Structure 1
Amino acid sequence: MVQTIFSDTIVALSTPPGAGALAVIRLSGPAAISITASVFSRKSLAEAGGHTLHYGTIRDPASSDILDEVVVALYRNPRSFTREDVVEISCHGSDYVVRQVLALMLRQGARLAEAGEFTKRAFLNGALDLAQAEAVADLIASDSALSHRVALNQLRGGFSQELRDLRARLIKFAALLELELDFGEEDVEFADRTGLARLLAEVRGVVAGLLRSFELGNVIKNGITAVIAGRPNAGKSTLLNALLREERAIVSAIPGTTRDFIEDEVSIDGLRFRFVDTAGLRDNPADEVEAIGVKRTRQRVRQAALLLYLFDLTEMTPADVQAEIQELTTGLELPVLAVGNKTDLASPEIQNAFAAEFNATIPTSQATVPLVLLAAGRNQGLEDLQSALLTQVRGSALENTASATIVTNVRHARALETAALHLAAVQAGLDTGRGTELLAADLRHALAALGEITGDISSEDLLTSIFTEFCIGK
């Protein structure tokens, strides 16, 4: 057994609140087993081995009333999630039963756990580092194949190990620089500047790669908002319904039917998209309500991560489409897809001529705007649109997510930015012959920033900020 750092025992409901078939109540701490044994019908629980299951009843000693029939899972330290003695009680999922069992555990000496306290104890007891602990929350919140894969990779320690390898190599040079400071009066160099420069170039490249991955990681974790905009009657609501595979928006031949946002989410090849149907864009709205809708559409475009500019292939020329995309995205660095709708009403010759003319010009300040042609009302061409969406969002970067390290956490990205800044300062110091004390100071700051990610360097304020975002019972 190992000596843990907590003397109290915590308890909480670890499954979502509300009625269900089963609920799991978790205890962790030095008295977790004895508290459970004091109300459990199987008195041999205190002597039972870890990783065992026990069927019996929970009885209130004060009234002798049986509260429920349960299964108790017992884990002895250090072979548990928190590296403490842990008990998980599987009872029936009645709100009343859960309240009664929790109240009984509190009367027997347990304390109600704070938000994220089980995971916090796992971190403080050395079962997880801080990046892995945060991955627990990401794994619980994952709602797509990719977000699940990235969170699981981080939970297994891939990201943490990469950072520790970087820090270990930098620490060797930092120690030599500190040694030079101790012998400052003797004007000696223990740290090979050429070797340090090579290492810095390599480490800075890795940190830069991790920072570049954050844009992709943010998409994987939080999804991407794709706004569907265009003129009235272009088929925006029809396209939304086709993408969602349900009649989510009202479709009408009357222009200006959509007056406000209609939005919903769908997963495409493991990536979560939030599609937003907007009011049609025109210079002379029919009434004040439609005018407000048009204004809101322009505002929503500025908040989007991706724009689907939808147009009626039978009514607009390539020059019209390009001009409207340019006007709508002026001042924005926004990926755009031009989507020509109603191919069922245009001959193949018209479609080919349109595509050739569209692709022959540069439509916006961007290098290119991909063109997709489809018939939303007939569900034709949706596969091409989905493929284009994935290409715009991820390029080829997601092909290796099973093994690649992807940064998804804002705190991690900020720490990496800080580390990159100080590593650049160390490099500049080497280039200009800056003094050892300045090189050592910048290197210490870079190491501290990297250490904050895994929790090798942490503060109580930082831990409080992180773990209070967790659910109680996690």
Structure 2
Amino acid sequence: MAVALPPSLSDTIVALSTPPGAGAIALVRLSGPAAIHLTDEVFAGKHLRDQPSHTLHVGTVRDGERIIDEVVVSLFRGPHSYTREDVVEISTHGSDYIVQELLGLLVRRGARLAEAGEFTKRAFLHGAFDLAQAEAVADLIAADSALSHQVAMRQMRGGFSQELKDLRGRLVQFAALLELELDFGEEDVEFADRTGLVRLLEEVQTLVRRLLRSFELGNVIKHGVTTVIAGRPNAGKSTLLNALLNEERAIVSAIAGTTRDLIEDEVSLDGIRFRFVDTAGLRDTTDVVESMGVERTLKRVQQAALVIYLFDITTTTPTGLQAEIDALQLPAGIPLLAVGNKLDVASDTEQAAYDERPNTVLIAASRGDGLDELREALLTRVRGEGLDRTGSSTIVTNVRHARSLEQAALHLEAVVQGLATGAGTELLAADLRHALATLGQITGEISSDDLLTSIFTQFCIGK
């Protein structure tokens, strides 16, 4: 359903939709009621007003008699366009000078420079898609791994929205019956089956909890996992970093304390970005520079999303390992994976000491032994309850969505408690109304100008 447009959104807007800077091609996009007319005024070629939608036209852009560039114009007539308005896209040579000349010419003819995200905002306001799908457009543009692309694509195509729509639809039926009871309050009748409402609330709460649990994984997919490799000197941290990156990124030496500063690099494991951080060895030292490195290590460990604690299984006992891990004083919630190195030179007894220890992987970083098991262990720690690799499960990646789901969960629990204690229809209806409202904020069925401004100003200008 289309939303009435504010006057500013009835303007014809223009922006560069490709990245700024010199390149082979630049694309300038117009959208609005005068998009075709304004382009016709500066385009020497076919009269665009007479051409059908979804066609391409070659010609020149002129400022009076001066030719600015030879271009290809793409014509999309509303409502069959991205914004549901008339849209024209002008492909020029990718010169900053040409782009600025073209933008200036179109603005002088009556177009207005678009605000950040204004094209997508217009698409939302015209009913092309809901708010959750609109936000997924930005996620798709920012996707830098196969998994983040998969999740954003599913959301943009309406997977998450449909799940919420079905959920709200079932709640709305009961909410309507409760409201009907309020209309007949003096007659003391019940239209809503309380037993059925309890069953429905249990199902809805289960779904909301699953979506909330998925946010931890969704946040990882969207932003990556900062993984700090910590441990004592000569445990093999730099060797492990090089092995995980499959390149000689860090200097490896038998001399203790070689790594003085943090060394970072990224690698994708099964579609999830891990940013590995090699750190200075943890020990007491009188070396001023090395001491600074140890301080930085301890600080970075506190900020990590995941910690690999690397130890030498030939010199570290299980009791000593636990003491070293305890000394890190990790904040609650930061997962740690203990990784025993130098498996290739360890005795059977030294290996056996760690066979039953949970969250422990044994490797030989210098030879690559056990690295596949380590990678799988890292993914398991990050995925938590698991990831449906077919892409059929909804994964929440947006902080705003998660916060709305949390609020909805609180209101749903209030309804459950109200039913259990025999609360009046007024209270039940009010809590159910609040739950529906918070769920509606996710898809934009209930939204404010401030919310829309906050969301769309995070987009790039030409989108």
So what's the TM-score if we normalise by structure 2?
0.95
Letter in 2 for 1:245: N
Answer whether contact 1:4 1:84 (CA < 8 A) is retained. Answer: no
Q: Describe the shift of the 1:396–1:210 C-alpha distance in structure 2 as closer, same or farther (beyond 3 A).
A: closer
**1:402 and 2:391 are equivalent in the alignment:** yes
Matched, 1:162 2:163: yes
CA distance in 1, matches of 2:30, 2:4: 15
Contact 1:4 1:83 (8 Å CA) reproduced:
no
- Aligned-partner Cα distance in 1 for 2:253–2:38: 65
1:52 aligns to 2:55 (yes or no):
yes
Show CA shifts across 1:362-405 (max 9, x none).
Answer: xxxxxx2222312x233443222212211221256223451111
Structure 2 residue aligned with 1:29: 32
Q: Which residue of 2 aligns with 1:343?
A: 343
CA contact (8 A) 2:302 2:330 kept: no
* CA distance in structure 1 between the aligned counterparts of 2:156 and 2:19, rounded to whole angstroms: 22
C-alpha distance in structure 1 between counterparts of 2:437 and 2:240, whole Å? 50
Aligned to 1:449: 438
**2:297 maps to what in 1?**
297
> Matched residues in 1 for 2:260 and 2:377: separation?
28
The residue identity in structure 2 corresponding to 1:51 is H
Tell me if structure 1 keeps the 8 A contact 2:266–2:274: yes
Q: Matched residue pairs, number?
A: 459
Q: Is the 8 A contact 1:319 1:358 kept in 2?
A: no
Please, which moves more after superposition, 130-139 or 19-28?
19-28
Hey, what's the Cα distance between the residues in 1 that align with 2:333 and 2:355?
A: 20
Distance 1:401 1:122 in 2: 29
**Matched residue type, 2:314:** T
Trace 1:306-345 onto structure 2 (pairs within 5 A).
306-345=306-345
Describe the shift of the 1:371–1:258 C-alpha distance in structure 2 as closer, same or farther (beyond 3 A): same
For structure 1, the 5+ residue unaligned runs are 362-367
Q: Is the 8 A contact 1:122 1:128 kept in 2?
A: yes
Match of 2:252 in 1: 251
The residue type equivalent to 1:342 in the other structure is K
Partner of 1:315: helix, strand, or coil?
coil
Task: Structure 2: state its 5+ residue gaps.
Answer: none
1:180 paired to 2:169: no
The answer to whether the Cα contact below 8 Å between 1:355 and 1:371 also exists between their aligned partners in 2 is no
Helix, strand or coil at the partner of 1:358: coil
The CA deviation at 1:406 is 0.5
How far does residue 95 in structure 1 lie from its aligned partner after superposition? 1.2
Distance 1:231 1:344 in 2: 19
Alignment partners' CA distance in 1, 2:332 and 2:187 = 57
Number of the residue aligned with 1:8: 11
Q: What SS does structure 1 have at the residue aligned with 2:400?
A: helix
* Larger deviation, residues 386-395 vs 173-182: 386-395
Please give the alpha-carbon distance, in whole angstroms, between the structure 1 residues aligned to 2:173 and 2:4: 31
Q: Relative to 1, partners in 2 of residues 1:331 and 1:109: Cα closer, same or farther, differing over 3 Å?
A: closer
- 1:214-293 aligned within 5 A: 214-282=215-283, 284-293=284-293
SS at match of 1:307: strand
What's the CA shift string for 1:187-236, capped at 9, x where partnerless?
A: 11111111111111111111111111111111111111110000112121
C-alpha separation between the residues in 1 aligned to 2:102 and 2:369?
A: 56
Higher mean displacement: 175-184 or 155-164: 175-184
* Cα distance in 1 for residues equivalent to 2:14 and 2:330: 55
User: In structure 2, what is the equivalent of residue 373 of structure 1?
Assistant: 363
C-alpha root-mean-square deviation of aligned residues, in Å? 1.7
Q: Cα offset for 1:439? A: 0.4
Task: Identify the range of structure 1 (289-298 vs 163-172) with the bigger mean alpha-carbon deviation.
Answer: 289-298
In structure 2, what residue type is equivalent to 1:74? L
TM-score by length of 1: 0.93
**Residue identity in the other structure for 2:222:** K
The answer to whether the 8 A contact 1:59-1:68 is kept is: yes
Q: Does 1:467 align with 2:435?
A: no
Distance of 1:264 and 1:81 partners within structure 2: 38
Distance in 1, Cα, partners of 2:222 & 2:330: 28
**Corresponding residue number in structure 2 for 1:97:** 98
Counterpart selection for 1:391 from 371, 376, 380: 380
User: Could you tell me how far apart the structure 2 residues matched to 1:356 and 1:395 are?
Assistant: 27
Q: Does the Cα contact within 8 Å between 2:3 and 2:127 map onto a contact in 1?
A: no
- The one-letter code sitting in structure 2 at the alignment partner of 1:357 is A
Q: 1:371 to 1:72 in 2, by over 3 A?
A: same
- 1:365: which partner in 2? none
User: 1:4 and 1:451, CA in 2 relative to 1: closer, same or farther beyond 3 A?
Assistant: closer
How many Å separate the matches in 1 of 2:351 and 2:406? 42
How many Å separate the matches in 1 of 2:390 and 2:382?
A: 14
Deviations 1:86-130 (A, max 9, x none): 111111111111111111111111110000101111111100100
Q: 1:355 aligns with which of 351, 357, 366?
A: 351
Distance in structure 2 (CA, Å) of the matches to 1:358 and 1:373: 12
Identical columns (%): 70
Letter in 2 for 1:359: D
Q: Distance in 2 between matches of 1:51 and 1:150?
A: 29
Question: C-alpha distance in 1, partners of 2:215/2:252?
Answer: 38
Match of 2:80 in 1: 79
Task: Supply the distance in 2 between the matched residues of 1:121 and 1:228 (Cα, whole angstroms).
Answer: 46
Q: CA deviation at 1:4?
A: 7.7
What is the rounded CA distance, in whole Å, between the counterparts of 2:434 and 2:130 in structure 1?
Answer: 20
SS in 1 for 2:43: coil
